[in-house]
Structure 1
Amino acid sequence: MVKNRLKVCSLVAVSLVGLISSCSGSSNPAAPTSASGLLSDVQFALPPDGVISLKVPAPTPQSPAFNAETDDMTPTLIASNSDPSYVSGDGFDFTYDFEIYKVAAGGVTTKVGATRSVAQTPTTTSYTVPAGDLAQDTSYTWRTRVRIGDEHGAWSDAATFQTPTLVTVDAPILLSPADGAEVSTTRPQLTVTNGAVSADAGAVQYDFQLDDEGATFPNPVTFSVSRSGGTTTSASYENALARNQQFWWRARATNGTVTSDWTAPFSFTVSATSSSGPRTPDPAPGQSLPLPNESAIIAAMAVTHAVELADSCIEEGGSWDFMDEAVRQLRLTDTRWGYNCKRGDCNHVSIDVVDYFHGIGDGTDSTEVYIIDIISAVCPDGNQDWSWQDQTDAT
């Protein structure tokens, strides 16, 4: 048993649990020595000691301390061993518990993983934090205590340290739609100014979040694109957004190891109607309007928007720019033009087809449409070109 291995000045074997001095007349062991300069505001944010059942002084943190920056992301926490006043600890199976806390703004602390335990070593006892537990450029505090079995002493004073910045992956800066803007398209491009990244950051992607329920993003959709090599990066949500609706969006950067914080959110509103022109009156009951031939608009766009046309293969990561502009220009001639919702389902919009509503009413979710293919290509792995092919009877 443990008590048979004790060495006390009176040569009487007693248990460390509940140890009372008989040599000095004191009813309490020596108080833990304060680690001068180690204490900080975060000390008071840490959980309390609980019931102290092992009456030995707390260990003393040595390093890292005083908010020193560590050399890497796997620092070794070193503490001077507890020195029981009336017993020799050399013969005991002391275990040292280590706890690490992340320190946020305002001194709020969050425990990193579980309490970690190591066996005592001579003079000092240490614990090396494994890779992946700590984040770079972050403040941490740590503490330690002595334990034998289920009996433990008081926690030490807290020591603080800062992790280094090894790789820079800064958050992007939201650019457009600007905060509070109104957009006419239901497929707005979200554009950010690229944040700084260090040369060793590797491949960086931007994560975008979009939500229509508020700036806290209670129910967001998340989509990602690779960071461009230029000054800005753009992304679009795959589905059309609802009109007359406010949306919030934000972005962050990650290389898979280092992830920036989310940006502060911007909001924008999709207008109730698009920028558009006149509308052809409804046909007589039982009749359909004829299909207008607007092939000249698409042919002209193939010249003025050649870059957007070449990049219009969505399946290869292309953009909606050509389709969006085509729909905008067609609607300037007649608001019956619009995107083609596959079989009336506007959660699935054709990537190369527009439609023209030829029936009576507002045409919302209607299948009474002409279907016109305006981009001719074998996508993916094809060269996009303009087209004007009536596919109504083929679908």
Structure 2
Amino acid sequence: MFYPEKYEKVLERNEYVFDVRLPGGTKTVSEFIKKITAAEECQKNTFIELSLAEKPHFGFHCFRITTEIQYLCRYEINRCMEGLKKAKQEGVDFLPTTTVQESIIRHYQKLDQHIEDIFKALAPKNFLFIGDHSTSSFEYEGNADVWLANNGYLNKEGMYKAFKRRLTKFLSNKFGVNIANTAKTPAKKGLIRRPITRFDADTTKAFGTFYDTGNFAGIFINDEARFGGAINSENEINELVDKICQEFNSDETNIKYQISAEPYKRNFLNTKFCELMPDIKLQKPDNIYFSSRRWEYLIENPYMKPIDEPIEGKKYPFTGAKGSDPLFVYSTELDKFIHSEDPNDLRMTYRLIKRYFSNGAP
């Protein structure tokens, strides 16, 4: 978890905390937030200490754990922001109304102080503030598999096949006996994780993504090459993609919630990670998160309300999810390392850094 080994004594002396995840050994939301605040202060102090000792040409510090608060308490963060705005308009101080809000305000005050401490202690010649995503209110939860099932593209696994699958797995694990049909072995090279929905692999034409990184939603065609499915040729795949997109975009519910489908994977053929991409991307507002954990196409998030203190039973995403807006702020001297033809996304960051150091920067 660290290198070189000589840093071990510094980390131990500072009681360094690498990460905090729910429930973090805590019993209340406020206690959880305070634990994150303390951990990020320890991380900041250690970063400053090691930077002053080593004097690196390039330093990277991440306040990642703050996102845990945003995923859990985004509803309360929104209430705090609204309260702060109203208080400013009225010329008065904002007064938190709950213990959770008090902890949130204290955390962000400390976070501002941490950033100031780093700049005062290290006086960097140049700087970048980078975030690969924003956070968004998690107002609606979706499940693409339900829409696909309702429109004839996905068939849930029947009782017989479910029993056979479980029996095969049991015999394989217990006795090393393989009774599966090996004549058609799915490649499984297009999935990082097993889908939540148990569908009939022989008759299902398409299935949805779930718990996606970066609040991304999409649809996979159940093709033979990647999943051992029934769809064989590229022509079949393209025809099915176009058909699903047309029907999806004509759906009144999708129109109402501003969700649309567009071809995706075929736009990136022969690229490095093409085989991991869904065939269809669902364009949607950030406040709709597709998880596939509930068998309903779209439902309101029942947790979008004032949060209570007990942390037991609270899971991510709770009232916040990853958003689609990245952050890219840089010192003005770095402007000359950005070219007009650079893409307007975070790839620009990598190009800027490469050019900066290729230019002989200290």
Relative to the length of structure 2, the TM-score reads: 0.18
Q: Which has the higher strand share?
A: 1
| Structure number, greater radius of gyration | 1
Q: Which has the higher helix share?
A: 2
Higher relative contact order (CA 8 A, sep 6+): 2
Relative to the length of structure 1, the TM-score reads: 0.17
